[in-house]
């Protein structure tokens, strides 16, 4: 499934990356944070928006804006592309319909096996406590 996110619903913010990298890290803002305004996006239906916000709740704020950060690459352009691709992947996963799990009964043989094992353990423990003083 190909996910298209309209450019007008994305806001990019750039900042300095952390970690090793020497002078490049200290002077170039290569870290990219992309904000996707799900609530205002006209591309998705209300049901799809709800599903996206529910599944990406840890990345979304109260206004319905999803945040993704990328600082893996050394260039701003590569991080920008990486952040958008990650966002697409997250939205794709959020929109997938998941199958409902069917409840199943415990098979009779499994129930019988469990009870038989309980009885065996019970007899074993009982044998340990019975004392025969031989009067």
- Give one DSSP letter per residue of 9-60, joined into a string: GEEEEEE---SS-THHHHH---EEEEEEETTT-SSS-HHHHHHHHHHTTTTB
Sequence-ordered list of residues with C-beta below 8 angstroms from that of 9, at least 6 positions apart, any chain: 36, 37, 38, 40, 41, 43
Do 9 and 36 contact (CB within 8 A), yes or no? yes
Give helix 46-55 / helix 76-95 axis angle, nearest 10°.
Answer: 110
Q: What is the pLDDT of residues 21-55, one digit of tens each?
A: 677 777 888 889 999 988 888 888 898 889 888 99
Kindly list the structural domains of the chain, giving each domain's residue range(s) and its CATH number in brackets, ordered by start.
7-95 (3.30.160.20)
Q: What are the tens digits of pLDDT across the range 51-85?
A: 888 998 898 888 889 999 998 888 889 999 999 99
Q: Is the pTM of this model over 0.75?
A: no
As a whole number of angstroms, the distance between CA 84 and CA 62 comes to 21
In angstroms, the CA 104 to CA 95 distance is 27
């Amino acid at each position: 499934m190909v996910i298209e996110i309209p450019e007008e619903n994305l806001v990019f913010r750039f900042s300095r990356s952390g970690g090793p990298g020497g002078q490049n890290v200290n002077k170039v803002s290569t870290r990219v944070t992309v904000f996707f305004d799900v609530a205002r996006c006209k591309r998705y239906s209300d049901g799809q928006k709800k599903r996206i916000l529910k599944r990406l709740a840890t990345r979304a704020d109260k206004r319905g804006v999803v945040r993704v950060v990328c600082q893996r690459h050394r260039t701003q352009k590569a991080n920008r592309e990486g952040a958008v691709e990650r966002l697409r992947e997250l939205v794709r996963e959020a929109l997938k319909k998941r199958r409902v799990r069917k409840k199943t009964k415990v098979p009779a043989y499994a129930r019988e096996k469990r009870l038989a094992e309980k009885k065996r353990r019970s007899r074993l423990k009982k044998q340990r406590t019975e004392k025969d003083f031989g009067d």
